[in-house]
């Protein structure tokens, strides 16, 4: 099913894909796809898709950041495998951020790594139709990693992308992710908007044609 959403500056086509399409199709303009071409995609099993889409419609900071993230995301693979990509990205960036604090990372490295973490978190929200606003619970690094690993496995390799247990573990993990990002913002004394801006600039340079560049350095 396709919908149109309108902002002050643009009109976006929004395709709602099914669970089966998450495994069998590529939502991409760059790959062969069973899905119709569209600007944006969201799952029929989305958790709070309306809230996510409203960020785009009302052009919030989150909405603008999401569109920037989508434009540089690798959509070559089916959605289920994109979930695994996002999950593994979050896990890697969580460890890099906290490791960096222990070894005295530079200010630029701190904002760069935190931006990467925010990027993968935003993409995971997009793939599951989750509201982009933070909803933190508690700082639980290793519990977060454990839950995310299971979500990535279940979504990509166990055909359970929308299973109740997968969604439940995902939402618990999201609370931990948000708490960890807020913790890192506090430790590094960085503001969310400056991390977003730095990350958008970094990604636009890395993927200069407004699409994912697999040969980036």
Q: What is the pLDDT of residues 126-135, one digit of tens each?
A: 999 999 999 9
From 105-109, 115-119, 120-124, 140-144, the region with the lowest mean pLDDT: 105-109
Asked if residue 216 belongs to a domain, the reply is: no
Residues 6+ apart with CB under 8 A from 215: none
> Domain count of the chain?
1
DSSP state of 207: T
211: in domain:
no
* Structural domain range at position 145: 2-206
Token pair belonging to 151? 């979500």
Q: Is residue 214 part of a domain?
A: no
- pLDDT value of position 33: 44
Q: Is residue 24 part of a domain?
A: yes
Which comes out higher in pLDDT, residue 123 or 215? Answer: 123
Residue 167: CB atoms within 10 Å: 18
- Note whether residue 111 is domain-resident: yes
| 213 domain residue, yes or no | no
Checking if the pLDDT of 37 tops 90, the result is no
User: Degrees (nearest 5) of the Cα angle 118, 157, 83?
Assistant: 20
**Does 78 map to a domain?**
yes
Closest CA to 54 of 8, 7, 10: 7
Is 117 inside any structural domain?
yes
Whether 42 contacts 129, CB under 8 Å:
yes
Would the pTM count as exceeding 0.85?
A: yes
Percentage of residues in the chain with pLDDT exceeding 90?
73
Both tokens assigned to 10: 């643009």
């Amino acid at each position: 099913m396709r919908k149109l959403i309108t902002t002050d500056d643009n009109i976006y086509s929004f395709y709602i894909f099914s669970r089966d399409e998450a495994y069998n199709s590529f939502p991409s303009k760059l790959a062969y796809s069973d899905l119709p071409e569209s600007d944006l995609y969201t799952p029929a099993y989305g958790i709070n898709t309306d809230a996510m889409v409203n960020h785009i419609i009302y052009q919030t900071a989150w909405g603008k950041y999401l569109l920037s993230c989508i434009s540089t995301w690798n959509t070559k693979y089916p959605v289920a495998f994109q979930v695994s990509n996002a999950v593994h990205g979050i896990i890697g960036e969580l460890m890099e951020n906290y490791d960096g604090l222990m070894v005295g990372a530079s200010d630029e490295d701190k904002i760069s790594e935190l931006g990467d973490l925010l990027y993968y978190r935003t993409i995971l929200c997009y793939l599951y139709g989750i509201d982009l606003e933070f909803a933190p619970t508690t700082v639980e690094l290793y519990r977060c990693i454990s839950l995310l690993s299971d979500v990535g496995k279940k979504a990509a390799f166990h055909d359970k992308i929308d299973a109740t247990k997968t969604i439940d573990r995902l939402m618990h993990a999201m609370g931990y992710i948000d708490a960890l990002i807020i913790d890192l913002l506090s430790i590094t004394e960085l503001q969310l908007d400056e991390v977003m801006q730095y990350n958008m600039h970094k990604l636009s340079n890395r993927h200069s044609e407004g699409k994912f560049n697999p040969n980036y350095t």
